[in-house]
Chain A
Amino acid sequence: MNEDPVVQATGAVPDGTGPSPAADALSHAGALLQVRDVRKVYGEGHTEVVAVSDATMAVDEGEFVALLGPSGSGKTTLISIIGGLLSATSGTVRIGDVEVTGMSRRDLTRFRAERVGFVFQSANLVPFLTARENLLYVAGLVKTPRAAAKSRADQLLEELGLIGRAGNLPEQLSGGERQRVAIGRALMNDPDLVLVDEPTAALDTAMGRQVVELLRREIKARGKTGIMVTHDLRMVEYTDRVFEILDGELTHVEEPSTLGH
């Protein structure tokens, strides 16, 4: 299982290039991502659930942060709002100079294709497209010229150690390989922000570490900004900073080392 040529060192955390966490990490001007007083309430009346209550956070360009919390704490809800998949009940999300909250559905679709890369819990690759075609498909969503898309896809597959698997269908790939294809797909359109929800849930620990390490490397090498949702404390060591969420309350902002493991 553990024969990946790309991931040589396990355990060692590559050096982050992100800025050191500032005391005002919750909110400061000039951050790539600014979340301000975001609240999400599901349902009405006595079935009402406050999934996220008044979350405020800021992430700088080039940072890879973790969103840590137990099941049902609101992680998926928050990251969905940030990525323009879900509308907030109140509050604002800005990515760069774009206000995500308040965009039309149609604009959001386009915005996601161009500016956000998603890695889902289960890879969710198109089962009848090969690894390379899965990457090319998202390039087609933003009308990338064919030749440019092809060379970019091959470069990403190379970096992810998948070039020998480029012509395989997802069913012919291992779980870790699929998740790596999904990472390549998320990076294909050169997004500003990469959002990752429990990428290791379907993988064993060793494979999970490999995938997260690779994810960090790709995000850092490309100067992207990443947010990874996890409830697994062991995965936070690969991130620059940790936001913790409990019952919808964004409670802590810490460096990974202070969490201890």
Chain B
Amino acid sequence: MLAIREFQRGLGRFSAIVSALGLLVFLVLILGALADGLFYGATGAVRSTSATAYAFDDEAEGSLVRSRLTEVDVAILAQAPGVEQAGPVGVLLTGGEGPQGTLSLSVFGIDMGSAGTPTTLVEGRLPDPGESGVVAADERLTDEGVVLGSTIAVGDVTAEVVGLVADASYQLQPSVWTSVATWRAMRDAVRPELRGQPDGINAVALVTTPGASLSEIAAAAPGITVLSAEATGLAIPGVEQQSSTLNSIIYTTLAVAALVVALFFALLVLEKRELFAALKALGASTSRLGGGVIVQAAVASVLGVVLGTVVARLFGLVIPPQVPTLFRTDTLVTIAVFTVVAGIVGAVFSLRRIARIDPATAIGGVL
């Protein structure tokens, strides 16, 4: 009762801490949206498929575009222990033409239905196995006017869009998914130096049995490295560095939030020493008074989270679309929980101060 009434009747002072926390939450949420936007935008194409692992040549360092394999490797890996399915993967980062002009694209050539097939179809259909001249396009391309039935051209090779897939960007470029043959035709059209490699692919997508050893699979195919799908995402240039940089800023900001709360409540307790001494003299226990401070910190943190979230979402509306941001609910929940915990941890530091207040100082104006 005491803690909540103080909050209600002292809104002026508590609005200071709520705004400060709201500002920090806003900052963390925007950074989180940026981190998620970069991560998901860079790695969608290796996360949103049936593949659980990818095989590369030994020199590729886990990069799909640098790796050079052939379709022979697909057959070898399909026989490796622990491999359920193996499918070719061809990747081409290129420019193309869409209904409204030029597009940045990542073209994926795969065997539809085999390992590496997209799992995030949201509209239309995937190309049939062996079907050429059609693609499933990244949902993001609808911002560029792409709809079912649109034609996308790479060089002089055209393909019709028959389906849309979600969360499928690669290195922030929206993807299109087609047969290996169509992909190879597009590659030859824009990269003449790669012509004359009729069975060349970049990597092999694998569906492995649960618990399969990736190093055993690699051992079955000389010159080949196998990485899990997750590791493949992190191996994309910049992804790991960006994630760890943004995450450390986020955690630092949360630590600052704890510090701000700690300072605020330390000051508040200092200011209320005389009152707390009197209440202790009247028989209020340290835990009751401390509990009130914790409740106030929790309420302030929750309100700060609400304020910060609202501001961040409004701000999200004015972020230009070329800045990759993604507001994810689970990131929001994580940040909300961390903020409230940081707030409570900050307030815990004032408990010792409350415990040290001597009720004897209340009487006789000794203070």
Contacts and interface: CB of A to CB of B under 8 A. Distances in A.
Contacts of B365: 120-122, 198, 201
B6 A128 contact: yes
14 contacts: A80-B360, A83-B281, A85-B359, A85-B360, A110-B283, A112-B359, A113-B284, A114-B283, A118-B282, A121-B365, A126-B2, A128-B5, A129-B2, A142-B283
B362 A85 contact: yes
B47 interface: no
A166 interface: no
A80 B363 CA distance: 7
A75 B278 CA distance: 18
Interface stretch (A5-13, A90-98, A133-141): A133-141
A114 B339 CA distance: 39
Given A112-B283, A122-B365, A229-B364, A129 B5 contact: yes
Nearest to B283: A113
B353 to A, nearest CB: 17
A124 B10 CA distance: 18
Given A121-B365, A126-B279, A195-B363, 11 more contacts: A85-B281, A106-B285, A109-B285, A112-B359, A116-B283, A120-B281, A120-B362, A124-B275, A128-B10, A129-B5, A136-B1
A232 to B, nearest CB: 14
A113 B9 contact: no
Interface in B321-367: 359-360, 362-366
Contacts of B274: 124
A155 interface: no
A169 B9 CA distance: 10
B280 interface: yes
B2 A76 contact: no
| Contact residues of B: prevailing secondary structure | helix
Contacts of A124: 274-275, 278, 362
A145 B233 CA distance: 61
Contacts of A85: 281, 359-360, 362-363
A76 B9 contact: no
Nearest to A202: B365
A127 interface: yes
A138 B283 contact: yes
B360 A86 contact: yes
A79 interface: yes
* 6 nearest A-B pairs in the assembled complex, by CB-CB distance: A113-B283, A76-B364, A124-B278, A112-B283, A128-B9, A85-B360
Interface string A208-250: 0000000000000000000001000000000000000000000
Interface in A66-114: 75-76, 79-80, 83, 85-86, 106, 109-114
B282 A112 contact: yes
Nearest to B366: A76
Contacts of B359: 85, 109, 112
Contacts of A138: 282-283
A126 B283 contact: no
A189 B275 CA distance: 19
Contacts of A201: 365
A127 B362 CA distance: 15
A197 interface: yes
B3 to A, nearest CB: 10
B10, B279, B281, B360: residue with the most chain A Cβ atoms closer than 10 Å: B281
A108 B275 CA distance: 19
A96 B280 CA distance: 22
Contacts of B2: 126, 129, 137
Nearest to B282: A138
Contacts of A39: none
A185 interface: yes
Contacts of A116: 283
B1 A112 contact: no
Contacts of B285: 106, 109-110
Contacts of B278: 120, 124
B180 to A, nearest CB: 73
Interface string B250-266: 00000000000000000
Nearest to B277: A124
B364 A80 contact: yes
Contacts of A109: 280, 283-285, 359
B283 A141 contact: yes
A144 B15 CA distance: 33
